[in-house]
Chains A and B, each alone.
Chain A
Amino acid sequence: MNDSTSKGGLWRALRTPTAKYSLGAVLIVGFVGGIVFWGGFNTAMEATNTEKFCISCHEMHDNVYQEYKTTIHYANRSGVRATCPDCHVPKEWVHKVVRKIQASNELYHKALGTIDTPEKFEAKRLELAGNVWRAMKKTDSRECRNCHDFESMDYTKQGRRAMRAHEEGLAGGMTCIDCHKGIAHQLPDMHDVDPSAVVGETQ
């Protein structure tokens, strides 16, 4: 133990085989410790994957959450809900961890107060929506498809507009987000996206 307190001692102590504890004891402690650590890590991560956690920030609660509450993903005839993480956090572990690491940028901007008023949020809305649209496009709308599977869709049970659009979309290699923008939140100002769908002169 005296060695470990001297300079370079910790590294040596870690490298030196233990003379005091049996290999079995070291393995058992390591195994149990590993389970506890891993369980704790995943539990903590899953705790951040809840709607309650998302709307604990006023930026989410006062803007996007209020808009989402008026949509079919919040309330509908069958009572199945898609909460924030169902659409915004991937289900598979690797993708989920990547997204969680990206979220550190969101914490940074939370600290900066980048969108801490409705006006600031509105000014950023197109950029923020664009980020989600781009991510969805890149993953072929992976989070939508966790529930809405193309293979399981019976077009004949859909309305005539939906049937036509889905048939053409599937053939044309389109993905959900290409058409279904702004279904859970308000759309941003669409002047730059589709000027024909907004009042005012085209540029």
Chain B
Amino acid sequence: MKKTVVMATLAAIISLGIGTTAVADEPVEVSSLRGHNPIDQDADVPNPKRWQRDRAPIERDYVQQPPLIPHSIEGYNINRKFNKCLTCHSWKNYKSSGATKISQTHFEDRDRNVHANVAARRYFCTQCHVSQVDAEPLVENTFKPVEYIR
């Protein structure tokens, strides 16, 4: 009995050893997020993108497109207590600020009830409306806007 146990243990150790050697022999390609830089050297610094300068409203490319934000929104907060965007774009403020007013659709909740103030599901502006930076397109794009909204 004792002999059997010893033999089994030895067999296990040997097979384990063989297994490990086999794995170690295969070259492993692991690429971390910091690239192939040696650990004692700095990682590649991504080229920081800059906000585009303020400009006139940007034309839409398709009918349902949420209009792009033609200005920087750095430091603008949207939370439960206030929405920085609406201090210019709300129906109360757009005239004095000269901003585009938010669409009438933004007052409608998911049950189609129209509210007196912006609906919760349309409150987080940057879910759909995005600001622009000076980045080049990552892939080639041949999209053309439809004729009748140009």
* Interface residues in chain A, defined as those with a beta carbon under 8 Å from any beta carbon in chain B: 70-72, 159-162, 164-165, 182-183, 186-190, 194-202
Contacts and interface: CB of A to CB of B under 8 A. Distances in A.
Nearest to A189: B81
A186 B77 contact: yes
B129 interface: no
A106 B17 CA distance: 72
Contact of A196 (B72, B80, B91, B98): B91
Interface in B66-98: 71-72, 75, 77, 80-84, 86-87, 90-93, 97-98
Contacts of A70: 75
Contact of B71 (A161, A201, A202): A161
Interface of B: 53-56, 71-72, 75, 77, 80-84, 86-87, 90-93, 97-98, 115-118, 120, 123
A197 B92 CA distance: 9
A199 B106 CA distance: 11
Contacts, number: 71
B54 A161 contact: yes
B54 A160 contact: yes
Given A159-B53, A187-B82, A189-B81, A197 B90 contact: yes
Contacts of B77: 182, 186-187
A159 B117 contact: no
Contact of A72 (B53, B54, B75, B123): B75
A195 B116 CA distance: 11
Contact of B86 (A72, A197, A201): A197
